[in-house]
Structure 1
Amino acid sequence: MDEFWVFGYGSLMWNPGFEFLERVDALVHGYRRSLCVRSFVHRGTRDSPGLVLGLDRGGACRGMAFRISPDKWDEVIDYLRARELVTNVYLERRVRLQFAGGRRVEAVTYVADRDHEQYAGTLDAFEAARVVHEATGQSGPNDAYVFNTLAHLRQMGIRDQWLEQVVSEVERLRAA
């Protein structure tokens, strides 16, 4: 491997937690950003799980790619594994990314494990909003996580219509 890239689709985009040489808008085909992972601790409980982002099969996802210096490869992969594989709800995968202009690179990313107990499956925006509206965990209300995620995506110029629908529905539930 000549280059080491990491693909982020959620908080990793604005809070990577590691040194990088370059950050580039990137698109991955075959996966989509989704609130498909149940949170039993940070954004919910076992009795009332919240939802957090996962990269799930189907569609495409715009995110950020980070190029890592060769002398940092081991350090960054160790950091990512400690951050992303705490409950093993994510699987480490290599994916092909496309940059503006057509350049393609291979990157490491973390996708939702559909066989894990925390995998919530494909939810429509209304069901996801109901779960998000009701859940709170050690790190606070689930809706704060979702609103913060959407705000960061917008700041980065990334449009996620499904997540926008979820937020609109949560706002409707708050007002009811």
Structure 2
Amino acid sequence: MQLTCELVALTIRDIRDDGPEPGWTPLSDKELDAIVDRIEGEAGNDPLLIFAYGSLIWNPEFEPVGRHRATAYGWHRSFSLRIERWRATSDAPGLMMALERGGQCDGIVFELSAERRRQDLRALVAREIKYREVKDMVRWLSVRTEHGTRRALTFWASTKRLGLTSPLPAEQASSLIAAACGQGGSCAEYLHKTIVDLQAEGIRDRNLWRLQALVAADIIARKRA
């Protein structure tokens, strides 16, 4: 992999917390509980599965009772959500990964504990969906597993109707990723961790491998400039 740990280290800077994402409205506790209520109602008595395709794989922050490989057909990973906080700033905006329509996406499904379901689900929604404008990017997908086709919840699944994401040419995306860093780390670090963890799961995403090479070249060019 061209995007080495040494190159990623060059993108890390000490950035202070600048508050909420500009132009987005933080969710209230009432709105958060309403999302959790809706999800629990839609799940009913069935096991609640979470489809992870990025950072949730390597940092779920809950203890699942089951974990399996899964494939979501009709969706693919894409650095298509522009951000100005967490791994970016307003001066150096970055990109976060979302699911976009088309292709297929290999990932992991986690099963939430029945005993801790609401507690873990609420913490997960609070972590992933902090703003009112993106609450509709929580959705159910059909995923294929070794146990057959299952329904799983996922985060940051985009549609054209929402208009929140905009896939960019790889060269343009790589330039943003190479430059962006915020209080939570850099976008290059996020890309690197995702690829490494996918590789550990035996998953190779061609788009991400191409992107990491472009990001590595951008970081090297910035260092030489």
Relative to the length of structure 1, the TM-score reads: 0.89
Greater than 6 Å deviation, 4+ residue runs: none
Residue 95 of structure 1: how far off its partner (Å): 1.0
User: Aligned ranges for residues 80-159 of structure 1 at < 5 Å?
Assistant: 80-87=124-131, 88-89=133-134, 91-100=137-146, 103-110=148-155, 111-112=157-158, 114=160, 119-159=164-204
Q: 1:69 to 1:144 in 2, by over 3 A?
A: closer
C-alpha separation between the residues in 2 aligned to 1:68 and 1:125? 35
Give, as a single letter, the amino acid of the residue that structure 2 aligns with 1:35.
F
Residue 52 of structure 1: how far off its partner (Å): 1.4
SS in 2 for 1:77: helix
Residue 146 of structure 1: how far off its partner (Å): 1.3
| Residues 27-73 of structure 1 deviation map (CA, whole Å, 9 limit, x = unaligned) | 01121111111221111112321111111222211110011222222
Residue 140 of structure 1: how far off its partner (Å): 2.6
User: Aligned ranges for residues 2-151 of structure 1 at < 5 Å?
Assistant: 2-87=46-131, 88-89=133-134, 91-100=137-146, 103-110=148-155, 111-112=157-158, 114=160, 119-151=164-196
Give, as a single letter, the amino acid of the residue that structure 2 aligns with 1:159.
R
Give, as a single letter, the amino acid of the residue that structure 1 aligns with 2:206.
Q
Q: RMSD across aligned C-alpha pairs, in angstroms?
A: 1.9
More helix by share: 2
More strand by share: 1
C-alpha separation between the residues in 2 aligned to 1:109 and 1:89? 13
Give, as a single letter, the amino acid of the residue that structure 1 aligns with 2:92.
S
C-alpha separation between the residues in 1 aligned to 2:89 and 2:159? 20
Which residue is equivalent to 1:173? 218
Give, as a single letter, the amino acid of the residue that structure 1 aligns with 2:176.
V
Unaligned stretches of 5+ residues in structure 1: none
Range 137-146 or range 75-84, more displaced: 137-146
SS in 2 for 1:70: coil
Residue 76 of structure 1: how far off its partner (Å): 2.2
Unaligned stretches of 5+ residues in structure 2: 1-44
C-alpha separation between the residues in 2 aligned to 1:35 and 1:154? 18
Relative to the length of structure 2, the TM-score reads: 0.71
